[in-house]
Amino acid sequence: MKAFIPKKILVALLLLVGVLITGTAGYVLIEKWNPFDALYMTVITLTTVGYGETHPLTQDGRVFTIILLLSGFGIITYGFTAVISFFLEGELNDIMRRRKMDKQIEDMRNHHIVCATGETGEYVIEEFLKTKQPAIVVTLDPHLAQRTQKLEIPTILDNPAEDPVLKRAGIEHAKGLISVLGADKDNLFVVLSARGLNPTVRIVTQAIERSTVVKLKKAGADEVVLTDFIGGMRIASAMLRPHVVSFLDTMLRDAGGALRVAEATIAANSLFDNKPLSHCNISDKLGCVLVAVKNAQSGEYIHNPAPTYKLAAGDTLIVIGYPDQVNKLSQHASA
């Protein structure tokens, strides 16, 4: 982790060092003193301790001392003010918070990276927050970064299209990456970089133009969401299926409950592996509502499966439930 020195304090330190060097050199050149005596005279002059002259000063030496004293006093005052403001203005707390966040980012594994900007990015981040999914936000938008940091979401204020930035976000250990940067070319660069750094990470991105969908998939995106298409479908559904849309909107906007359609994949030798649904008793034990099962062998979705359906490793359960219920389901499916 790189050490961080506030700019004001760094400037004050550089100015102080400059004055010490200038004072020492001045006494050496003007008074012909040795460097140590010159440095000592410079220090006692700047600190105004009143020890007296190291050696008798010439007229030129006294003039130089007056200039050194006035300039040095100003620099020391500036440095003192910078240190005080560093503590009083909360800069220290900001630095400590950033360091804590950097450490949190370094330790994260099996997380999601959200490369975001604008309102679409805010909605994506809000969904991860509601469903309690670990995520790191990477953005060039300082306002978005400020909001996510206040929500204690690990945030990197930098360009997500650059490899070092994605590496800092832990792309090698990430479970998935979302890119919603509002411009197809920006999303394309992120997808290319992410796929090159992690061939197995799942990548979902946004597309504005229909023609870029194929390009984004060729670049390595697993899923491309055409936002205009989704918006058009949503508007048509609100007219044709108003009650269904109302139900889904209520489910998604429920800030307290965060009821969601979720999924969990059956792992080999888990509690659900090679067990009939009647034995798993998902609804009564975990509170989730089983909607469908995706068969691992055929790839088909079995809607409202019968209690006698025997689960197998690789099958995916599609359920409706709250985050805590879904987490318990995932634990049972993977244990």
- Cα–Cα distance for residue pair 131/127, rounded to 1 Å: 6
Question: How much is the pLDDT for 151?
Answer: 87
SS (H, E, C) 10-60: HHHHHHHHHHHHHHHHHHHHHHCCCHHHHHHHHHHHHHCCCCCCCCCCCHH
Average pLDDT over residues 90-104: 70
Rounded distance between C-alpha atoms, residue 196 and residue 143, angstroms: 29
Contacts of 254 (CB under 8 A, 6+ apart): none
Angle at 177 between CA 171 and CA 180, to 5 degrees: 130
CA 125 – CA 115 distance, rounded (Å): 10
DSSP H or E run through 149: helix 142-150
Q: What confidence tens digit (pLDDT) does each residue in 231-271 have? A: 899 899 989 999 988 888 887 776 556 788 899 999 999 99
Report the sign of the C-alpha dihedral through residues 191, 194, 199, 203, in that order. negative
Q: Which element (helix H / strand E) includes 81?
A: helix 59-88
E strand or H helix at 317? strand 316-321
Average pLDDT over residues 86-112: 75
CB–CB of 54/40 below 8 Å? yes
**For residue range 265-321, what is the model confidence (pLDDT) as tens digits?**
999 999 999 999 999 989 888 999 999 999 999 999 999 999 999 999 999 999 998
Write down all domains in the chain, each with its CATH number in brackets: 7-88 (1.10.287.70), 109-232 (3.40.50.720), 259-334 (3.30.70.1450)
